[in-house]
Structure 1
Amino acid sequence: MLTIQRRALISTRLNRDGQIIAKPLADELGVSEDTIRRDLREMAAEGLLQRVHGGALPLTPPLPDLAARREISDGTKQSLGRRAADLVENGRIIFLDGGTTNAHLARALPREMRITVITHSPTIASELERHDAEVILIGGRLYKHSMVATGAAAIASIAQMRVDIFFLGITAIHPVHGLSTGDYEEAAVKHAIAQQAASTYVLATPEKFGLASPFRIMGVDNLTGIVAARDMVDEPLAPYRDLGIPLLLA
């Protein structure tokens, strides 16, 4: 098997299985373990995977600050926000997670719509200043990187609520490793919200697919649907179609 073929296979297996273990793969392909390790080292140097002892894992995405994230895929985020806003009907209770994509969702909601929006993000709440929506702001310890409330106080408040739709914010989505983020307490709060929601949608920009952040929120099988960019290549979306997760393309 040529090097380019092995590397393509490694990428496919990593996306499907969530990990590569060098020895079993070497045995399967009939090559030396050193050959597979060399492939993994070279792919890691090119930023294609994360090298670990004995194999490889998907990349952990970087965690730029909020101001920097506003500049990433801004047009795509606007489209995703408009598509997600179509899911909201009058009279609904929704929970808007923090993040720059959900900020576009908040802006896309019709100002005259009579809904209740719960959020633990002061920046999301401020987007709804001129809306007729009732806004409930959850308090707690402010995680400044994402501008959201975390900790025991936030989770205690969330436990008293039931919502129709939760719009979840993430830093990574992977068919095996699930939905994840870069902070332990933030992941715990997101999980708590999902537990109180009748349905959960994630708005995911293309750069978040196939990656895994350190702290897991939940599996992708717990999602009601994924809002994704229409111009994404099909390969990153295929595992979710195979799992029967509805894809709402924007």
Structure 2
Amino acid sequence: MLTTQRRAMISTRLARDGQIVAKALADELGLSEDTIRRDLREMAAEGLLKRVHGGALPLTPPLPDFAARQTIASDLKCRLGRRAADLVKPGQTVFLDGGTTNAELARALPRDLRSTIVTHSPTIAAELEKHDAEVILIGGRLYKHSMVATGAAAVAAIEQIRVDIFFLGVTAIHPAHGLSTGDYEEAAIKRAIARQSAETYVLATPEKFGAASPHRIMSVSELAGLVVPADMAAEPLSPYGDGSTALIMA
């Protein structure tokens, strides 16, 4: 098989599966693992994929900083936030992950809603200053890119709380690679919160579908629901239409 043919196959597999395992692909093609690894190194050097131990992942565009992200697709995020706020009932304990879309959710919550809101994001907590809800702020090492607390202290506090709903923030959603994000410690925090939650939802903007970030959080099938734009194209949503995860239109 020619180098160009192998590279085309690698690109196709990445788009379909969300990952390449070098040994598995080498065995399938009857080639040496070194050959596949060399292809992956060269493609990574050209900016076509991201090399990871044992294989490769698709590239995801680098996220702008938190302040810049607040200005991106703000109307769409407002819609998602308002729809997600409808899922919150009086008396519930709700965990809000960080992120600009979840900030819109916090703004959309009725100010007289009697509930408990837990968050490890100081920016989310600040949005709830004038709300009647009790607010519990989890502390730890501040990951400034997402403005959330991470580390052992945050995990220890999270493990003492049981919540009804967790609104999880992610950077990528893929049918094979699942829900993922760009930071190792942040992914660990998100998994810890999900373990303490009866239901987990993701507010999903269209550009996150079909992408895979380096650090996996959980599978899409573990979610109670995806809150998505009502006018979103059907094709990116088709892998999630089996009913295991609710698609909630906003």
TM-score, scaled to structure 2: 0.82
- Partner secondary structure for residue 210 of structure 1: coil
Conserved in 2, the CA contact under 8 Å of 1:180 and 1:218? yes
**What is the Cα deviation at residue 73 of structure 1?**
1.3
Specify the alignment match of 1:210 in structure 2.
210
Post-superposition, which runs of at least 4 consecutive aligned residues in structure 1 deviate over 3 A? 8-16, 19-27, 51-57
**What is the Cα deviation at residue 17 of structure 1?**
2.0
Residues 57-89 of structure 1 show CA distances to partners (whole Å, capped at 9, x for unaligned) of 433231210011111111111100001001000
- Partner secondary structure for residue 233 of structure 1: coil
- Partner secondary structure for residue 242 of structure 1: coil
Structure 2 runs not aligned, ≥5 long: 1-7, 31-38
The separation in 2 between residues aligned to 1:106 and 1:234, in whole angstroms, is 28
Across the aligned residues of Structure 1 and Structure 2, the Cα RMSD in angstroms comes to 3.0
The separation in 1 between residues aligned to 2:175 and 2:123, in whole angstroms, is 30
Specify the alignment match of 2:159 in structure 1.
159
Specify the alignment match of 2:80 in structure 1.
80
- Partner secondary structure for residue 207 of structure 1: helix
Conserved in 2, the CA contact under 8 Å of 1:221 and 1:243? no
- Partner secondary structure for residue 161 of structure 2: coil
Specify the alignment match of 2:198 in structure 1.
198
The separation in 2 between residues aligned to 1:81 and 1:55, in whole angstroms, is 37
The separation in 2 between residues aligned to 1:86 and 1:131, in whole angstroms, is 16
The within-5 A match list for 1:167-186 is 167-186=167-186
Specify the alignment match of 2:33 in structure 1.
none
Conserved in 2, the CA contact under 8 Å of 1:61 and 1:211? no
The within-5 A match list for 1:50-129 is 50=49, 57-129=57-129
Aligned AA for 1:90? Answer: P
Conserved in 2, the CA contact under 8 Å of 1:61 and 1:212? no
The separation in 2 between residues aligned to 1:204 and 1:113, in whole angstroms, is 24
Aligned AA for 2:126? Answer: S
* 1:137 lines up with 2:116 in the alignment: no
- Partner secondary structure for residue 132 of structure 1: coil
The separation in 1 between residues aligned to 2:11 and 2:244, in whole angstroms, is 22
**What is the Cα deviation at residue 163 of structure 1?**
0.1
Specify the alignment match of 2:35 in structure 1.
none
Distance of aligned partners of 1:13 and 1:230 in 2 relative to their CA distance in 1, 3 Å threshold: farther
**What is the Cα deviation at residue 143 of structure 1?**
0.7
The separation in 2 between residues aligned to 1:208 and 1:128, in whole angstroms, is 27
Percent identical residues: 70
Distance of aligned partners of 1:52 and 1:187 in 2 relative to their CA distance in 1, 3 Å threshold: closer
- Partner secondary structure for residue 165 of structure 2: strand
- Partner secondary structure for residue 145 of structure 2: coil
The separation in 1 between residues aligned to 2:28 and 2:81, in whole angstroms, is 41
